[in-house]
Structure 1
Amino acid sequence: MFRFLIRRFIQALIVMIVISIISFLVQGRLGDPVHQMVGQSVTLEERKQIRDELGLNDSLFDQYIRFAKKAVRGDLGVSYYYKEPALDVILRKLPATLELSFSAIVLIIIIAIPCGVIAAIKPKSILARTLMFFSTIGLSVPIFIIAIFLVYFFSVEWQIAPSFGRGETEVIFSFWETGFTTWDGIKHLFLPSLSLALALMPLFVRLIRSEMMEVLQSEYIKFAWAKGLSPMRIYFIHALKNTLLPIITVAGIQTGTLVAYTILTETIFQWPGMGFLFWDAISRVDTPLISAYLMVVGAMFVITNTLVDLIYGLVNPTVRLSSHGL
């Protein structure tokens, strides 16, 4: 375990260095930040002075070293628009994105696992064929199309769920603003979380079905039937447990996809999270905020992948963590 953690720490350090270089280089490719900070009446001399104060006239190497030293201390720059530390702005929006992602993951688990198992138990049944049909369609439909249909039916036609915003929220633990504690917040969370879940759910339904069908043909499952174990125990304990390893692998990989879909979902539903903030920062050429977002998301990827490897060891103790993850 100790060797695994050391190895993962070194890998995480390398990944974060690469992400920091990319984040830094992005700053010089999105336009002139001075132009976004000042009005048209500012003279060229004043613009040059501002660039000197921001260090934008220094060499690229000097700028990166300065950026990296500040990043190590948790200083990811000051937002040009909000006039406050970019990391503070992102952390203020982080709870909304985490709640949206968590809700989508819960919906995926609740719906995808039973659907995948049912489709694997009786693959030729009408229900299984229907599930596979809709999962195929779901893989082909972009998330913004799904979101538009959800808004049309649930908000316009049936008027049972709001189509934008986060709704009423409450502050808990003195720093976490959540909508889970209010009915209005839950109603506002329903459509964006369902939209995000439907974008990834078909993949997991098909994956669970495929892995489950293979496991059900194995010898130990036949032995479990011979022992007279109940079908529910065989399907949802013995068989499902051995389908989780590839599912966990795909879930870790899909973290990046989830973040990308979060940007689209939050933009469509005007959800005040990190994704919507990132899109807004691009439109304003707020380069410190963009770089800080990339750094924070990169750190989330590293942490998620490490947790996936640890879960491997919990699901299947025969997997050696010291040799996994290279």
Structure 2
Amino acid sequence: MNSQPLARLVQAFLVMLAMTVIVFIGIHLIGNPVDILISPEADQMERDRMMSTFGMDKPLWTQYGIFLMNALQGDLGTSFVYNLPAIDVVLSRLPATLELALVALLLAVVIGIPLGLYCGLRPDSPVSRFIMAFSILGFSLPGFWMGLILIMVFAVELGWLPSTGRGDTVEFLGVQWSFLTWNGLSHMLLPAINLAMFKLSMVLRLTRAGVTETLSTDYIKFARARGLSPQRIVGVHVLKNIMIPLVTIIGMEFGSTVAFAIVTETVFAWPGIGKLIIDSINVLDRPVIVAYLMIVVSLFVLLNFLVDLTYYALDPRARRGGRA
């Protein structure tokens, strides 16, 4: 029996445990939320009462022990600002970020893979050179600057698309989604394009590099010698081999897209967890900050585990290596 998936589960558990320590200690070093939440005119007795209410009068290791026991039961604390369970506050904003990240990653894949294939198959054409030169912008332009340019051009000057907000939403499976309405889609387009720029450039260049490397292999030369059509060579042999690194990178990049949507959500006032964490940091809402970080870390761990399983399923060499 192969022990690779079990080993990955153990590693994921250890990563989560380590992250609870890092997150808890780090979040308790950034300041005292009582200084923000309580009136400056309050006396020391009122401050002590507030500290006791939030459980911050106990030693740090005791607070961590309480936090860990509660976290194992799904309780990450109560928001100081919203007076609601912190995990519920974060989860209520999570669908907005997830759908934005999914649309951005879909744009990167749908546009990036065909362009990368073209550039890999025709590397010396003027169009390929232009595409590769243009892809550099996706890596070099700051996200906030690109967002402001998109708003200035398409929202202010042309008036084609709205610049802020999420638009109309429709409830599906108990969650509000904006991609199910035209108004919601119009609000999503600009932030999704802004969020997709870096990922699109990365997918494009990764696809081009994979195609270039695969075309120089012996089995591709053998396939051409057998008289196989170029469409079959590209559609079967080339794509099959470049899909393994692409699936790995795309799966892992989804987590980073969710985590680093903060700038895009702030620029476009998109009501997701990215904007929530910025607002929570401004008021030192510790439970919400901890809940956000733990959910993002859990998402990264889950995605990495799924990517490992997908890679394991796509590449027979991994299965043979595991059995050996």
TM-score of the pair, normalised by structure 2: 0.94
Contact 1:4–1:322 (Cα < 8 Å) also in 2: no
Q: Secondary structure at the match of 2:171?
A: strand
Q: Secondary structure at the match of 2:317?
A: coil
The aligned residue for residue 10 of structure 1 is 10
Comparing 42-51 with 79-88, which one deviates more in the overlay?
Answer: 42-51
The aligned residue for residue 219 of structure 1 is 218
User: In the alignment, is residue 134 of structure 1 matched against residue 134 of structure 2?
Assistant: yes
Q: Secondary structure at the match of 2:208?
A: helix
**C-alpha deviation, 1:237, in angstroms:** 2.5
Counterparts of 1:41-56 in structure 2, within 5 Å, are 41-56=41-56
Query: What one-letter code is carried by the residue in structure 2 that aligns with 1:146?
Result: M
Query: What one-letter code is carried by the residue in structure 1 that aligns with 2:189?
Result: F
**C-alpha deviation, 1:246, in angstroms:** 2.4
Comparing 140-149 with 30-39, which one deviates more in the overlay?
Answer: 30-39
The aligned residue for residue 69 of structure 1 is 69
**C-alpha deviation, 1:256, in angstroms:** 5.1
The aligned residue for residue 183 of structure 1 is 182
Residues of 1 paired with 2:298 and 2:115: CA distance?
Answer: 33
The aligned residue for residue 318 of structure 2 is 319
Contact 1:26–1:291 (Cα < 8 Å) also in 2: no
Residues of 2 paired with 1:200 and 1:142: CA distance?
Answer: 13
Give the 3 Å change call, closer, same or farther, for CA 319–190 of structure 1 in structure 2. same
Comparing 208-217 with 40-49, which one deviates more in the overlay?
Answer: 40-49
The aligned residue for residue 93 of structure 1 is 93
Comparing 162-171 with 17-26, which one deviates more in the overlay?
Answer: 17-26
**C-alpha deviation, 1:143, in angstroms:** 1.2
Query: What one-letter code is carried by the residue in structure 2 that aligns with 1:196?
Result: L
The aligned residue for residue 204 of structure 1 is 203
**C-alpha deviation, 1:52, in angstroms:** 2.0
Residues of 1 paired with 2:38 and 2:3: CA distance?
Answer: 52
User: In the alignment, is residue 286 of structure 1 matched against residue 285 of structure 2?
Assistant: yes
Query: What one-letter code is carried by the residue in structure 2 that aligns with 1:254?
Result: E
Aligned length: 323
User: In the alignment, is residue 306 of structure 1 matched against residue 305 of structure 2?
Assistant: yes
Residues of 2 paired with 1:315 and 1:159: CA distance?
Answer: 46
Query: What one-letter code is carried by the residue in structure 1 that aligns with 2:178?
Result: G
Comparing 238-247 with 59-68, which one deviates more in the overlay?
Answer: 238-247
Residues of 1 paired with 2:106 and 2:252: CA distance?
Answer: 17
Give the 3 Å change call, closer, same or farther, for CA 260–295 of structure 1 in structure 2. closer
The alignment's C-alpha RMSD in Å is 1.8
Contact 1:101–1:262 (Cα < 8 Å) also in 2: yes
Q: Secondary structure at the match of 1:30?
A: coil
The aligned residue for residue 22 of structure 2 is 22
Residues of 1 paired with 2:146 and 2:54: CA distance?
Answer: 43
Query: What CA deviation, in whole Å up to 9, does each residue of 1:157-204 have, x standing for no partner?
Result: 22111111000001112x211012110001011011111111221122
Give the 3 Å change call, closer, same or farther, for CA 298–137 of structure 1 in structure 2. same
Query: What one-letter code is carried by the residue in structure 1 that aligns with 2:190?
Result: L
Q: Structure 1 vs Structure 2: percent identity of aligned residues?
A: 40
Contact 1:108–1:197 (Cα < 8 Å) also in 2: yes
Contact 1:168–1:179 (Cα < 8 Å) also in 2: yes
Residues of 2 paired with 1:323 and 1:19: CA distance?
Answer: 28
Query: What one-letter code is carried by the residue in structure 2 that aligns with 1:118?
Result: Y
Give the 3 Å change call, closer, same or farther, for CA 256–98 of structure 1 in structure 2. closer
Q: Secondary structure at the match of 2:98?
A: helix
Unaligned runs of 5+ in 2: none
The aligned residue for residue 264 of structure 1 is 263
Query: What one-letter code is carried by the residue in structure 2 that aligns with 1:62?
Result: T
Unaligned runs of 5+ in 1: none
Query: What CA deviation, in whole Å up to 9, does each residue of 1:192-240 have, x standing for no partner?
Result: 1111111221122111111110101112212222333332222133102
Query: What CA deviation, in whole Å up to 9, does each residue of 1:107-148 have, x standing for no partner?
Result: 011000001000000100011101110012221111112212
Query: What CA deviation, in whole Å up to 9, does each residue of 1:261-313 have, x standing for no partner?
Result: 31111111110111111111111110110011010000000000011111112
Query: What one-letter code is carried by the residue in structure 2 that aligns with 1:202?
Result: S
